[in-house]
Chain A
Amino acid sequence: MKMELFKLILIIVLAVIMLASAVYAVVSKKTVSAVLATGVISLLASVIFLMLASPDVAMTEAAIGAGLTTFLFFIIIRKIEKQDDAK
């Protein structure tokens, strides 16, 4: 029972951090920090999935949400910066 309560508190804390980083991603003026904040959302979501006993979904979320999308955003940000430099 104690373990269950601990899990519940941890999930609530993670959810609050996720919400905070979602708001930060919208409000932030820096694109790079906003992209990192969205990566944090996916990473914490995968932790929550793991705690809810679905490791398969957690792996997908971590690989695609936190890894692939964040990296892809950085590649595209660099491309846009390069284009702006060329002008």
Chain B
Amino acid sequence: MRNSFLIILIAAFAWFMYDIFSEYQTQEQLNKTAAYYNSNEPSEAGAANVVTAIVVTYRGLDTLGEVTVLFLATLIIGFILKNKAEKIIDSKYKTSEILETGAKVLVPGSLILGVYIFINGHLTPGGGFQGGAVIGSAIVLLLLADPNKIVSHKLMNFIESTSGFFYVVIGILGLIIAGGFLDNRIFPLGKLGSLISAGAIPLIYSFIGLKVGAEISGIVNNINETELTDKL
């Protein structure tokens, strides 16, 4: 009974996907919006990576919404999971030598890679979310190698809230100085393709990267510190 229901569900999904993709045609040209972004972005936003300019400037409000959703998720996870003031040190637990040594080598590199990705968000692929996720993975690896490691909640919360605050402050500055909320032209645009260019985009993306990294690390840290009980 349950299996036949599943098969019907999968068949319906397959039919649904077929319906979408049977009419798919490769576009020869960019559509109107994409063509606008492609031709006007270098003079308007000045970022070498058009995707970043769209995410941070043209659709900046949506990005703020995304960051808010992630913040709420962190908040709810922190609320549901038990957060003990003191951490129980489990000295019995030993991870393998390979994992410990590998983590020692990989964690600093991953942290630097994450920072590199979000600082160069306006030049190379990637940006705040990707860099933040890489930082988060580094913290997960750290906790996987040594579960008793203490990652400060206070520091994470501080980084998270200050970068969120300054993100909104830059947005409001754009409203006052430049053309609108989260407008990047509060600083000069600079030369296309250099590190300090594209106005406020590198600054905003750095704040997003720090915020996302701190949030993901906070979630992982909460999960790591929670003792499973029968109630949960």
Give Cα A59 to B131, complex, Å. Answer: 9
Main secondary structure of the interface of A (DSSP, over half): helix
Tell me the count of chain B residues lying within 8 A, CB to CB, of chain A.
25
Residue B130 at the A interface, CB < 8 A? yes
> Interface stretch among B34-42, B139-147, B173-181?
B139-147
Residues of A within 8 A of B216 (CB): 68
Q: Which of A55, A60, A64, A82 contacts B93 (CB 8 A)?
A: A82
Cross-chain contact A67 with B147 (CB below 8 angstroms): no
Chain B residues near A72 (CB, 8 Å)?
140, 220, 223
A 44-76 to B, binary, CB cutoff 8 A, 1 in contact else 0: 000000000001101110011001100110111
Chain B interface secondary structure, helix, strand, loop or mixed?
helix
> Given A68-B133, A72-B220, A78-B147, do A55 and B125 touch, yes or no (CB 8 Å)?
yes
Q: Kindly state the separation between the CA atoms of A71 and B224 in the bound complex, as whole angstroms.
A: 12
**Separation in Å of the A43 CB from the closest CB of chain B?**
13
Cβ contact within 8 Å between B133 and A64? yes
Q: Which residues of B contact A55 (CB under 8 A)?
A: 125-126
Check if A59 sits within 8 Å of B125, measured CB to CB: yes
What are 9 inter-chain pairs, A to B, with CB distance below 8 A? A55-B126, A56-B49, A59-B126, A63-B130, A67-B137, A71-B140, A71-B141, A75-B223, A80-B228
Which residues of A does B touch, CB under 8 Å?
A: 55-56, 58-60, 63-64, 67-68, 71-72, 74-76, 78-80, 82-83
